[in-house]
Protein backbone atom coordinates (compact mmCIF):
# COMPACT_ATOMS: atom_id res chain seq x y z
CA UNK A 1 0.00 0.00 0.00
CA UNK A 2 1.27 3.30 -0.98
CA UNK A 3 1.48 5.93 1.72
CA UNK A 4 -0.68 8.92 1.14
CA UNK A 5 0.94 12.22 0.59
CA UNK A 6 1.27 13.62 4.12
CA UNK A 7 0.73 17.16 2.91
CA UNK A 8 -3.06 17.30 3.57
CA UNK A 9 -2.42 16.41 7.21
CA UNK A 10 0.18 19.14 7.73
CA UNK A 11 -1.99 21.48 5.79
CA UNK A 12 -5.04 20.91 7.95
CA UNK A 13 -2.93 21.15 11.10
CA UNK A 14 -1.65 24.44 9.81
CA UNK A 15 -5.16 25.65 9.10
CA UNK A 16 -6.24 24.56 12.57
CA UNK A 17 -3.38 26.46 14.12
CA UNK A 18 -4.19 29.53 12.06
CA UNK A 19 -7.85 29.42 13.00
CA UNK A 20 -7.06 29.02 16.70
CA UNK A 21 -4.57 31.88 16.56
CA UNK A 22 -7.09 34.26 15.02
CA UNK A 23 -9.73 33.16 17.50
CA UNK A 24 -7.48 33.74 20.46
CA UNK A 25 -5.97 37.00 19.33
CA UNK A 26 -9.03 39.23 20.01
CA UNK A 27 -8.63 38.61 23.70
CA UNK A 28 -4.89 39.21 23.45
CA UNK A 29 -4.87 42.92 22.67
CA UNK A 30 -7.17 43.19 19.65
CA UNK A 31 -7.91 46.70 20.85
CA UNK A 32 -4.38 47.56 19.78
CA UNK A 33 -3.48 51.03 20.94
CA UNK A 34 -7.04 51.83 21.94
CA UNK A 35 -7.37 52.56 25.63
CA UNK A 36 -9.96 50.08 27.00
CA UNK A 37 -11.85 52.81 28.82
CA UNK A 38 -12.03 54.95 25.65
CA UNK A 39 -13.16 51.84 23.78
CA UNK A 40 -16.01 51.32 26.21
CA UNK A 41 -17.13 54.96 25.96
CA UNK A 42 -17.08 54.86 22.15
CA UNK A 43 -19.07 51.64 22.10
CA UNK A 44 -21.60 53.39 24.33
CA UNK A 45 -21.88 56.19 21.76
CA UNK A 46 -22.29 53.67 18.95
CA UNK A 47 -24.92 51.68 20.82
CA UNK A 48 -27.12 54.73 21.41
CA UNK A 49 -27.45 55.23 17.66
CA UNK A 50 -29.32 53.31 14.99
CA UNK A 51 -26.62 53.06 12.43
CA UNK A 52 -27.53 53.14 8.78
CA UNK A 53 -24.95 54.88 6.67
CA UNK A 54 -22.17 56.35 8.64
CA UNK A 55 -18.58 56.45 9.79
CA UNK A 56 -19.71 54.27 12.64
CA UNK A 57 -19.81 51.21 10.39
CA UNK A 58 -16.04 51.07 10.81
CA UNK A 59 -16.45 50.90 14.60
CA UNK A 60 -16.13 47.12 14.66
CA UNK A 61 -16.11 45.50 18.11
CA UNK A 62 -12.76 44.25 19.36
CA UNK A 63 -10.67 46.31 16.98
CA UNK A 64 -8.35 49.26 17.55
CA UNK A 65 -10.53 52.36 17.99
CA UNK A 66 -7.60 54.58 17.03
CA UNK A 67 -8.09 53.28 13.47
CA UNK A 68 -11.84 53.85 13.33
CA UNK A 69 -13.25 56.51 11.02
CA UNK A 70 -13.76 59.81 12.80
CA UNK A 71 -11.43 59.03 15.71
CA UNK A 72 -8.00 60.42 16.41
CA UNK A 73 -5.80 59.31 19.27
CA UNK A 74 -2.95 61.31 20.77
CA UNK A 75 0.31 59.95 19.33
CA UNK A 76 1.98 59.75 22.74
CA UNK A 77 -0.76 58.75 25.14
CA UNK A 78 -2.97 56.91 22.62
CA UNK A 79 -6.00 58.49 24.28
CA UNK A 80 -8.87 59.57 22.03
CA UNK A 81 -8.60 63.34 21.64
CA UNK A 82 -10.66 64.04 18.54
CA UNK A 83 -14.10 62.83 17.56
CA UNK A 84 -15.22 64.04 14.15
CA UNK A 85 -17.96 61.81 12.86
CA UNK A 86 -20.27 61.84 9.91
CA UNK A 87 -23.62 60.29 10.68
CA UNK A 88 -25.68 60.23 7.52
CA UNK A 89 -29.19 59.04 8.27
CA UNK A 90 -28.46 57.71 11.73
CA UNK A 91 -31.12 58.22 14.40
CA UNK A 92 -30.82 58.01 18.18
CA UNK A 93 -29.37 60.14 20.98
CA UNK A 94 -25.97 61.30 22.19
CA UNK A 95 -24.86 58.81 24.82
CA UNK A 96 -23.75 60.08 28.21
CA UNK A 97 -20.62 57.93 27.76
CA UNK A 98 -19.35 60.84 25.62
CA UNK A 99 -18.24 62.27 28.96
CA UNK A 100 -16.00 59.22 29.52
CA UNK A 101 -13.45 60.30 26.92
CA UNK A 102 -11.52 62.57 29.29
CA UNK A 103 -8.85 63.63 26.78
CA UNK A 104 -11.23 64.85 24.10
CA UNK A 105 -10.30 68.27 22.72
CA UNK A 106 -12.71 68.38 19.83
CA UNK A 107 -16.19 67.01 19.15
CA UNK A 108 -17.60 67.54 15.67
CA UNK A 109 -20.77 65.73 14.69
CA UNK A 110 -21.63 66.23 11.02
CA UNK A 111 -24.98 65.48 9.41
CA UNK A 112 -26.55 64.10 12.54
CA UNK A 113 -29.86 65.65 11.49
CA UNK A 114 -32.01 62.90 12.94
CA UNK A 115 -30.35 62.70 16.30
CA UNK A 116 -32.51 64.24 18.98
CA UNK A 117 -32.67 64.58 22.74
CA UNK A 118 -30.32 66.77 24.72
CA UNK A 119 -26.62 67.35 25.38
CA UNK A 120 -25.57 64.96 28.17
CA UNK A 121 -24.39 66.69 31.34
CA UNK A 122 -21.48 64.25 31.48
CA UNK A 123 -19.83 66.46 28.86
CA UNK A 124 -18.76 68.79 31.68
CA UNK A 125 -16.15 66.17 32.60
CA UNK A 126 -14.27 66.98 29.40
CA UNK A 127 -11.88 69.55 30.81
CA UNK A 128 -9.69 69.64 27.70
CA UNK A 129 -12.56 70.31 25.34
CA UNK A 130 -11.92 73.23 22.99
CA UNK A 131 -14.32 72.59 20.12
CA UNK A 132 -17.94 71.53 20.54
CA UNK A 133 -19.75 71.41 17.21
CA UNK A 134 -23.21 69.88 17.44
CA UNK A 135 -24.71 72.00 14.66
CA UNK A 136 -27.41 70.72 12.31
CA UNK A 137 -28.90 68.07 14.57
CA UNK A 138 -32.37 67.82 16.13
CA UNK A 139 -31.38 68.58 19.71
CA UNK A 140 -34.08 70.23 21.78
CA UNK A 141 -34.82 71.62 25.22
CA UNK A 142 -32.99 74.57 26.71
CA UNK A 143 -29.35 75.28 25.95
CA UNK A 144 -27.71 73.76 29.02
CA UNK A 145 -26.32 76.20 31.57
CA UNK A 146 -23.65 73.64 32.48
CA UNK A 147 -21.76 74.48 29.29
CA UNK A 148 -20.13 77.29 31.28
CA UNK A 149 -18.09 74.58 33.02
CA UNK A 150 -16.21 73.81 29.81
CA UNK A 151 -13.67 76.44 30.67
CA UNK A 152 -11.29 75.76 27.78
CA UNK A 153 -13.95 75.95 25.09
CA UNK A 154 -13.01 78.17 22.15
CA UNK A 155 -15.69 77.19 19.64
CA UNK A 156 -19.33 76.38 20.35
CA UNK A 157 -21.72 75.55 17.52
CA UNK A 158 -25.29 74.59 18.41
CA UNK A 159 -26.82 76.15 15.31
CA UNK A 160 -29.63 74.55 13.31
CA UNK A 161 -31.16 72.59 16.14
CA UNK A 162 -34.46 72.89 17.98
CA UNK A 163 -33.21 74.47 21.18
CA UNK A 164 -35.80 76.61 22.94
CA UNK A 165 -35.92 78.78 26.05
CA UNK A 166 -33.56 81.63 26.73
CA UNK A 167 -29.82 81.97 26.21
CA UNK A 168 -27.91 81.01 29.39
CA UNK A 169 -26.23 84.18 30.68
CA UNK A 170 -23.46 82.00 32.07
CA UNK A 171 -21.97 81.37 28.64
CA UNK A 172 -20.17 84.67 29.13
CA UNK A 173 -18.08 82.93 31.84
CA UNK A 174 -16.16 81.18 29.09
CA UNK A 175 -12.93 83.12 28.86
CA UNK A 176 -11.43 81.57 25.75
CA UNK A 177 -14.44 81.68 23.47
CA UNK A 178 -13.74 82.65 19.88
CA UNK A 179 -17.10 81.81 18.35
CA UNK A 180 -20.63 81.19 19.61
CA UNK A 181 -23.14 79.85 17.08
CA UNK A 182 -26.66 79.65 18.48
CA UNK A 183 -28.33 80.70 15.25
CA UNK A 184 -31.31 78.94 13.66
CA UNK A 185 -32.92 77.59 16.78
CA UNK A 186 -36.12 78.49 18.61
CA UNK A 187 -34.59 80.64 21.31
CA UNK A 188 -36.78 83.18 23.08
CA UNK A 189 -36.28 85.88 25.70
CA UNK A 190 -33.75 88.64 25.43
CA UNK A 191 -30.02 88.65 24.77
CA UNK A 192 -28.34 88.34 28.19
CA UNK A 193 -26.94 91.54 29.68
CA UNK A 194 -23.87 89.46 30.57
CA UNK A 195 -22.99 89.13 26.87
CA UNK A 196 -21.63 92.65 27.13
CA UNK A 197 -19.16 91.40 29.72
CA UNK A 198 -17.17 88.58 28.22
CA UNK A 199 -14.29 88.51 30.62
CA UNK A 200 -11.75 87.09 28.17
CA UNK A 201 -11.76 87.30 24.39
CA UNK A 202 -14.93 88.65 22.77
CA UNK A 203 -16.37 85.85 20.65
CA UNK A 204 -17.98 86.21 17.26
CA UNK A 205 -21.71 86.06 18.01
CA UNK A 206 -24.18 84.31 15.73
CA UNK A 207 -27.68 84.59 17.18
CA UNK A 208 -29.70 84.98 13.99
CA UNK A 209 -32.98 83.27 13.09
CA UNK A 210 -34.35 82.75 16.55
CA UNK A 211 -37.26 84.38 18.34
CA UNK A 212 -35.28 86.72 20.55
CA UNK A 213 -37.23 89.69 21.85
CA UNK A 214 -36.74 92.90 23.77
CA UNK A 215 -34.11 95.59 23.30
CA UNK A 216 -30.45 94.81 22.71
CA UNK A 217 -28.71 95.21 26.09
CA UNK A 218 -26.78 98.48 26.38
CA UNK A 219 -23.83 96.50 27.69
CA UNK A 220 -23.15 95.12 24.20
CA UNK A 221 -22.05 98.61 23.22
CA UNK A 222 -18.77 98.13 25.07
CA UNK A 223 -17.71 95.13 23.00
CA UNK A 224 -15.00 95.58 20.41
CA UNK A 225 -16.62 92.62 18.68
CA UNK A 226 -15.39 91.31 15.34
CA UNK A 227 -18.59 89.72 14.08
CA UNK A 228 -22.14 90.12 15.34
CA UNK A 229 -25.21 88.67 13.65
CA UNK A 230 -28.52 89.28 15.41
CA UNK A 231 -30.60 89.10 12.23
CA UNK A 232 -34.07 87.60 11.90
CA UNK A 233 -35.25 87.94 15.46
CA UNK A 234 -37.85 90.17 17.10
CA UNK A 235 -35.52 92.69 18.67
CA UNK A 236 -36.88 96.17 19.28
CA UNK A 237 -35.63 99.65 20.14
CA UNK A 238 -32.20 101.18 19.90
CA UNK A 239 -29.12 99.53 18.40
CA UNK A 240 -26.99 102.63 17.97
CA UNK A 241 -24.77 101.60 20.91
CA UNK A 242 -23.32 98.81 18.73
CA UNK A 243 -21.63 101.43 16.57
CA UNK A 244 -18.44 102.90 17.92
CA UNK A 245 -15.69 104.46 15.79
CA UNK A 246 -13.09 103.18 18.27
CA UNK A 247 -14.08 99.56 17.78
CA UNK A 248 -11.34 98.78 15.31
CA UNK A 249 -11.95 95.03 15.38
CA UNK A 250 -15.57 95.26 14.27
CA UNK A 251 -16.00 94.18 10.65
CA UNK A 252 -19.44 92.56 10.44
CA UNK A 253 -22.74 93.84 11.82
CA UNK A 254 -26.00 92.21 10.73
CA UNK A 255 -29.15 93.41 12.46
CA UNK A 256 -31.53 92.79 9.56
CA UNK A 257 -35.05 91.48 9.94
CA UNK A 258 -35.88 92.85 13.39
CA UNK A 259 -38.05 95.72 14.62
CA UNK A 260 -35.23 98.04 15.57
CA UNK A 261 -36.12 101.70 15.72
CA UNK A 262 -33.45 104.37 16.11
CA UNK A 263 -32.05 107.48 14.45
CA UNK A 264 -29.20 106.56 12.11
CA UNK A 265 -28.17 110.20 11.62
CA UNK A 266 -25.91 110.37 14.67
CA UNK A 267 -24.36 106.91 14.35
CA UNK A 268 -20.55 106.78 14.11
CA UNK A 269 -19.44 103.65 12.32
CA UNK A 270 -16.51 101.41 13.28
CA UNK A 271 -13.59 102.25 10.99
CA UNK A 272 -13.00 98.77 9.62
CA UNK A 273 -16.58 97.82 8.96
CA UNK A 274 -16.83 95.48 5.98
CA UNK A 275 -20.43 94.27 6.15
CA UNK A 276 -23.40 96.28 7.38
CA UNK A 277 -26.94 94.93 7.06
CA UNK A 278 -29.66 96.94 8.77
CA UNK A 279 -32.39 96.09 6.26
CA UNK A 280 -35.96 95.26 7.25
CA UNK A 281 -36.22 97.33 10.43
CA UNK A 282 -37.82 100.63 11.40
CA UNK A 283 -34.68 102.73 11.38
CA UNK A 284 -35.24 106.44 10.72
CA UNK A 285 -33.19 109.58 10.15
CA UNK A 286 -30.60 109.97 7.41
CA UNK A 287 -27.41 108.24 6.31
CA UNK A 288 -24.34 109.85 7.96
CA UNK A 289 -21.88 111.37 5.45
CA UNK A 290 -18.98 109.52 7.09
CA UNK A 291 -20.21 106.27 5.62
CA UNK A 292 -18.51 107.15 2.34
CA UNK A 293 -15.09 107.10 3.98
CA UNK A 294 -15.37 103.52 5.24
CA UNK A 295 -12.69 102.00 3.01
CA UNK A 296 -13.43 98.39 3.90
CA UNK A 297 -17.19 98.57 3.52
CA UNK A 298 -18.16 96.15 0.77
CA UNK A 299 -21.70 95.16 1.70
CA UNK A 300 -24.27 97.76 2.65
CA UNK A 301 -27.94 96.87 3.05
CA UNK A 302 -30.21 99.47 4.59
CA UNK A 303 -33.32 98.89 2.49
CA UNK A 304 -36.78 98.43 4.00
CA UNK A 305 -36.47 101.05 6.72
CA UNK A 306 -37.80 104.57 7.29
CA UNK A 307 -34.73 106.50 6.23
CA UNK A 308 -34.93 109.86 4.55
CA UNK A 309 -32.74 112.47 2.89
CA UNK A 310 -29.88 112.48 0.42
CA UNK A 311 -27.66 109.43 0.03
CA UNK A 312 -24.04 110.55 0.56
CA UNK A 313 -22.08 110.71 -2.69
CA UNK A 314 -18.40 110.44 -3.52
CA UNK A 315 -15.89 108.42 -1.53
CA UNK A 316 -16.67 104.77 -1.82
CA UNK A 317 -20.37 105.19 -2.47
CA UNK A 318 -20.18 104.12 -6.12
CA UNK A 319 -19.78 100.57 -4.80
CA UNK A 320 -23.43 100.36 -3.87
CA UNK A 321 -26.43 99.82 -6.11
CA UNK A 322 -29.99 100.91 -5.56
CA UNK A 323 -30.83 97.60 -3.84
CA UNK A 324 -28.65 98.71 -0.93
CA UNK A 325 -31.06 101.57 -0.27
CA UNK A 326 -34.48 100.82 -1.74
CA UNK A 327 -37.80 100.70 0.08
CA UNK A 328 -37.16 103.52 2.50
CA UNK A 329 -39.38 106.47 3.39
CA UNK A 330 -37.72 109.17 1.33
CA UNK A 331 -34.07 108.45 0.52
CA UNK A 332 -32.98 110.15 -2.66
CA UNK A 333 -29.97 110.81 -4.85
CA UNK A 334 -27.70 108.39 -6.74
CA UNK A 335 -28.31 105.45 -7.10
CA UNK A 336 -31.98 106.20 -6.34
CA UNK A 337 -34.07 108.98 -7.86
CA UNK A 338 -32.62 112.45 -7.67
CA UNK A 339 -33.66 114.65 -4.78
CA UNK A 340 -36.40 117.16 -5.58
CA UNK A 341 -35.48 120.79 -5.22
CA UNK A 342 -37.43 122.62 -2.63
Name which of 121 and 145 has its Cβ closer to ligand NAG.
145
Binds ligand NAG (CB under 6 A): choice among 127, 186, 266, 329: 127
Which of positions 152-191 make contact with ligand NAG (CB under 6 A)? 152, 170, 173
Name which of 154 and 328 has its Cβ closer to ligand NAG.
154
DSSP code at position 263: B
| SS (HEC) of 279-318 | CCCCCEECCCHHHHHCCCCCEEECCCCEEEEECCCCCCHH
Name which of 115 and 202 has its Cβ closer to ligand NAG.
115
Instruction: Read off φ and ψ for residue 211, nearest 5 degrees.
Output: -125, 40
**Sheet (strand 284-285) strand order:** 284-285, 306-310, 330-332
Give me the 84-113 binding string for ligand NAG, x by CB under 6 A, dash otherwise: -------x----------------------
Asked whether position 195 contacts ligand NAG by CB under 6 A, the answer is no
Name which of 128 and 234 has its Cβ closer to ligand NAG.
128
Of 24-32, 58-66, 144-152, 239-247, the segment contacting ligand NAG by CB under 6 A is 144-152
Binds ligand NAG (CB under 6 A): choice among 53, 62, 145, 224: 145
Does residue 59 have a cis peptide bond before it, meaning omega lies within 30 degrees of 0?
Answer: no
Report the alpha-carbon distance of residue 77 to residue 80 in Å, rounded: 9
Sign of CA dihedral 291, 250, 252, 308: negative
End-to-end CA distance of the chain: 128
In our burial notation (b when 16+ CB lie closer than 10 A, e otherwise), range 57-92 reads eebeeebbbbebebbebeeeebbbbbbbbbbbebeb
Asked whether position 44 contacts ligand NAG by CB under 6 A, the answer is no
Rounded least distance, CB 173 to ligand NAG, Å? 5
Of 22-30, 51-59, 145-153, 295-303, the segment contacting ligand NAG by CB under 6 A is 145-153
The binding site for ligand NAG (CB under 6 A) comprises 91, 116-117, 127-128, 140, 145, 148, 152, 170, 173
Amino acid sequence: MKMQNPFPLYYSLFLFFLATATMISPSLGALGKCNPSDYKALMGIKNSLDILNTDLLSWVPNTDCCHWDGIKCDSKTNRVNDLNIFAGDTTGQISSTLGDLPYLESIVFTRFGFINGSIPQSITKLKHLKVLDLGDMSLSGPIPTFLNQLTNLTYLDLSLNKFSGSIPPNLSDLKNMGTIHLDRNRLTGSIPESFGKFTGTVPDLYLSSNKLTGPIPKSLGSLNIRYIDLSRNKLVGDASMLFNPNHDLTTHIDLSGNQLEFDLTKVKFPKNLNWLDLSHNKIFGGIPEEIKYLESLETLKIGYNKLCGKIPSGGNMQRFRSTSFFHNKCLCGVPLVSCKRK
